[in-house]
């Protein structure tokens, strides 16, 4: 199995024991900000051309007794946090949007989904914030996937505070600062994979019939070349090796536990699962499962998170 080489090892100062593989990827992470909000690729780019608009959407996504316990816990949490209306404004393939959905689905919080058209964004014209995800909770607007999740978690668990250097927080930052940047170079690695990815994007996204036809080919071509620039930006020499290494890094972090959170997923588990879910059944995701040890964990997460709680409007 191939591995990413040439990354300088660093030691992460932490009050918890972090697996050495995390240090292996930290050199990459130190070249970018500690938190990067949803980038222009998720809706912040101006759209002077059709290709520019398309580029705004395309950076992507137990045992029976244990499952029963998860369901009971989720119902208890939903009872304590019981908003009248939760609405998620999203792009179906956006990994940051899928992070939020994984949290909502796991906690069995019902929500409505508004799929945003990436070209005109008329669905979010009411908001000054022009990226996704946007979540409204009884009319209150929340933005930025990690901030959204932190806000919801605190409402559900008002007595629990998170440390910046605990294991869960460190791995959530790893997801935002490292894992998500590996996805585009993989799903647009070749022209055939770019077309496969855009077929998924346009099938599940908010496109008219004409937009769907044009986007599949124009968008796939544009993102094939964009992915090459992303490889250079994030010092990726072999995109598949980088994906496999990230998957193995995550499995090593579990250290034999069913989930990073132990017997049940924590916020880091949900973040990794959320950003990987859109690619799981694309060629890159299939290769990842076939060539690394992440498959068993991913299957446990699928079973534990359960069916989506969202309803598309």
Residue 303 phi/psi, 5-degree rounding, is -70, -35
- Please measure the distance between the N-terminal and C-terminal CA atoms of the chain and give it in whole angstroms: 44
Task: Please tell me the predicted confidence (pLDDT) of residue 280.
Answer: 94
Higher pLDDT, 268 or 77: 268
Beta strands 86-90 and 111-115: pairing type?
Answer: parallel
For residue 175, give the DSSP letter.
Answer: I
Active site residue 96: yes
Determine which one of 94, 103, 106, 200 is catalytic. Answer: 94
Q: Band of the pLDDT at 224, cuts 50, 70, 90?
A: confident
96-116 pLDDT, tens digit per residue, is 999 999 999 999 999 999 999
Can you give the pLDDT at residue 203? 86
Is 97 a known active-site residue? Answer: yes
Q: What is the mean pLDDT of residues 3-13?
A: 36
1.20.1050.10, 1.10.3720.10, 3.40.50.300, 3.40.1160.10: CATH of 86-312: 1.20.1050.10
Residue 251 or 222, more confident: 251
pLDDT of residue 282: 95
What the block records as the tokens of 112 is: 């409505």
Determine whether 94 is an active site residue.
Answer: yes
56-95: b (≥16 Cβ within 10 Å) or e: bbbbbbbeeeeeeebeeebeebbeebebeebbbbbbbbbb
Q: How far apart are CA 177 and CA 266, in angstroms?
A: 18
Mean pLDDT value across residues 156-176: 92
Per-residue pLDDT tens digits for 48-98: 334 444 444 444 433 333 444 444 444 444 447 899 999 999 998 899 999
Q: 27-54, pLDDT tens digit by residue? A: 334 333 333 343 333 333 333 334 444 4
Helix (H, G, I), strand (E, B) or coil at 111: strand
Residue 91 catalytic?
Answer: yes
Q: Domains of the chain: which residue ranges?
A: 86-312
Predicted confidence (pLDDT) at residue 206 exceeds the cutoff of 60: yes
Catalytic residue, chosen from 42, 59, 97, 207, is 97
Residue range 179-189: average pLDDT? 95
Q: What integer best gives the mean pLDDT of the chain? A: 80
Residue bearing the bigger pLDDT, 8 or 299: 299
Look at residue 90 and give its three-state secondary structure. Answer: strand
Q: Which two structure tokens, joined as six digits, stand for 124?
A: 């979010």
**Exposed, middle or buried by CB within 10 Å (0-12, 13-18, 19+), for 139?**
exposed
Are the CB atoms for 47 and 56 separated by under 8 Å? yes
* Active-site pick, 59, 96, 207, 273: 96
Give the residue from 257, 245, 89, 97 showing the smallest Cα distance to 167.
Answer: 257
Question: Residue 8 pLDDT more than 70?
Answer: no
pLDDT at 215: 77
Asked if the model's pLDDT at residue 286 lies above 80, the reply is yes
- The one catalytic residue in 59, 91, 111, 244 is 91
Alpha carbon of residue 225 to chain centroid: 22
252 pLDDT above the threshold of 80: yes
Report the distance separating Cα 207 and Cα 85, nearest Å: 26
């Amino acid at each position: 199995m191939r591995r990413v080489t040439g990354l300088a090892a660093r030691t992460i100062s932490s009050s918890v024991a972090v697996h050495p593989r995390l240090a292996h990827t930290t050199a990459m992470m130190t070249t970018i900000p500690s938190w990067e909000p949803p980038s222009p690729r998720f809706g912040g780019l101006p759209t002077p051309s059709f290709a520019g608009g398309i580029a705004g959407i395309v950076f992507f996504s137990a045992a029976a007794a244990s499952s029963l316990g998860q369901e009971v816990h989720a119902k208890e949490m939903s009872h304590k946090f019981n908003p009248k209306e939760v609405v998620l404004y999203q792009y179906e393939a956006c990994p940051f949007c899928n992070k939020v959905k994984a949290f909502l689905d796991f906690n069995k919080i019902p929500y409505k989904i508004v799929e945003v058209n990436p070209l005109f964004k008329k669905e979010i014209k009411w908001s000054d914030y022009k990226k996704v995800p946007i979540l409204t909770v009884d009319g209150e607007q929340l933005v930025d996937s990690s901030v959204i999740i932190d806000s919801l978690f605190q409402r559900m668990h008002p007595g629990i505070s998170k440390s910046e250097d605990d294991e869960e927080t460190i791995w959530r930052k790893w997801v935002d600062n490292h894992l998500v940047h590996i996805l585009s170079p993989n799903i647009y690695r070749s022209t055939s994979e770019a077309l496969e990815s855009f077929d998924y994007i346009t099938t599940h996204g908010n496109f008219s019939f004409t937009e769907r036809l044009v986007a599949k080919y124009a968008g796939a071509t544009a993102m094939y070349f964009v992915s090459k620039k992303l490889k250079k930006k994030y010092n990726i020499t072999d995109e598949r090796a980088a994906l496999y290494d990230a998957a193995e890094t995550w499995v090593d972090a579990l250290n034999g536990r069913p989930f990073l959170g132990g017997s049940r997923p924590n916020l880091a588990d949900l973040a990794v699962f959320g950003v990987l879910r859109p690619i799981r059944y694309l060629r890159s995701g299939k290769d990842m499962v076939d060539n690394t040890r992440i498959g068993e964990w991913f299957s446990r997460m699928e079973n534990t998170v359960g069916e989506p709680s969202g309803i598309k409007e």
